[in-house]
Amino acid sequence: MTTAPGTTTTSAPKSALDRFFSVTARGSTFGAEIRGGLVTFVTMAYIVILNPIILSGSADVEGNTLPFPAVGAATALAAGVMTIAFGLVTRLPFGFAAGLGINAFLAFSVVGQVTWPEAMALVVINGLVIVLLAATGLRKLIFDAVPLQLKLAITVGIGLFIAFIGFVNSGFVTATGEASPPVGLGVGGSVATVPTLLFVVTLVLTGILVALRVKGGLLIGLAVGTVLAVIAEAIWHLGAAADGNAGGWSLTVPALTGSPFSLPDLSLVGAVDFGFDLGRVSVVALVMIVFTLVFSNFFDAMGTMTGLAKEAELADEKGDFPRIKSALIVEGLGAVVGGATSSSSNTVFIESGAGIGEGARTGLANVVTGGMFLLAMFLTPLTSIVPTEIAAAALVIVGAMMMAQIAHIDLGDFRVLLPVFLTVTVMPLTYSIANGIGAGFVSWVVVQAFSGRARRISPLLWIVAAGFVVFFARGPIQALLGA
């Protein structure tokens, strides 16, 4: 059982390493930290493949693209360095890697206006702004201004978001291509592919192990699911869905061919350009891009860390957790490192909840996760053997665990219910943590203000809500300003 922040158990630390990470003090063990770190890595490892797919698939304004192998190596390097750094500085078990929302924003929106080196320079600027806000304490003040009900709602929303990601990644939930319904079950309303079937098997098996409180249940489930996937691929040669095979694996094929080793291509490290061509892109457009990056980074990370701290039972009744200021500063540095390595902004990953569900409670788990990412630079073929469909099962399990936090919210008051509902539902439905938080903040301020509780709203919350209004309307605003 874990303890509240700042408290200790009756057991004395067993070593200097134990004291440094507070392993015993948080009711954890070295075995649990190692298992948790490994599980977090397994559930995050897909980013080493997915991030290059997103970033290298789009040409910038000059028609240049990023090389896939170089992006993969940079992604693993940045994730490893930031995950270890975060664990050592904050002693928290939150893994870092390239954030999916921001990398998609860069690939599908930003590089249509600037070059890739310029886009990464904007990511660095975004990170410096985040660090400044954290170092001055403003980020913490904004964090403290958020009502507890919204903090808990963020946790629940992230849980649903994690589960939805798992369902989509597994092929259990798919786009229909129709106006209504926009999504459906599997293929034609049924589980019709082997990869999705193995997701279901892994989900059920892992759920049983977790329900029985089997130590290493998540890791065992992932390992068994991967073995079954390798066997299935060897028998039926399913291949990749991207090759036009509807019944194939969505992202990675669970088969190792050739050497498991490869030398990392780090040519993108330092490939940033702050000499923006103002004849091609306006200052207003650059400011709006940075504004969007900051808001996405700022609130995605805040919401994710709040949810993970609650899941790890490291947050107090206000939602605060140990070394929170350091955590916010290091998270900002993740954007700087991500931009400097051309891997996109690195931030806290919600998949860390899988490791927390396995028992991780300290930064020691991060050292394990980060070490695996650094190793992954040389073992990309081996890293990719775990198919997305199998890793997705762990995400659904963790999402269910995080859903339990809704029991701590009193939903009897509609002034609380509506903002909580919007926070929880908008996240998965728009595929964005920041959107869910913004919907919750704006609705909280509006409903509370017009129902006679304006004086109870923190001035900072008013400012943040106004900022989110701008965030949601950034497209029309940018068009109005002629950007």
Closest CA to 74 of 261, 293, 270: 270
Q: How far apart are CA 362 and CA 30, in angstroms?
A: 10
Rg (CA), the chain: 22
φ, ψ of residue 26 to 5 degrees: the values are: -95, 10
The dihedral through the CA atoms of 85, 90, 93, 98 has a sign that is negative
Q: How far apart are CA 34 and CA 27, in angstroms?
A: 14
Name the token pair of 180. 């209504």
Longest pairwise C-alpha distance within the chain: 68
Q: Give CA torsion, residues 141, 143, 147, 150, to 10 deg.
A: 160
- What's the Cα-to-Cα distance from 397 to each of 199, 266, 369, rounded to whole Å? 12, 35, 20
Name the token pair of 434. 């920041």
Residue whose pair of structure tokens reads 């890793």 in the numeric block: 391
**Tens-digit pLDDT profile for the chain (483 aa)?**
344 444 444 466 678 999 999 999 999 999 999 999 999 998 888 888 888 878 988 899 999 999 988 999 999 999 999 999 999 999 999 999 998 778 888 988 899 899 999 999 999 999 999 999 999 988 888 877 889 899 889 889 988 988 998 999 899 999 998 999 999 999 889 999 999 999 999 999 999 998 998 877 888 898 899 899 999 999 999 999 877 788 999 878 898 777 778 889 999 999 999 999 998 988 878 988 898 788 777 777 877 898 899 899 998 877 788 998 999 999 999 999 999 999 999 999 988 999 999 999 999 999 999 999 999 999 866 666 888 899 899 889 988 988 988 999 999 999 999 999 999 999 999 988 788 889 999 999 999 999 999 999 999 899 989 988 988 888 888 788 765
Q: How far apart are CA 203 and CA 451, in angstroms?
A: 44
Q: Is the bond preceding 181 in cis, omega lying within 30 degrees of 0?
A: yes
Q: How far apart are CA 151 and CA 161, in angstroms?
A: 15
Name the token pair of 17. 């390493």
Beta bridge partners of 276: none
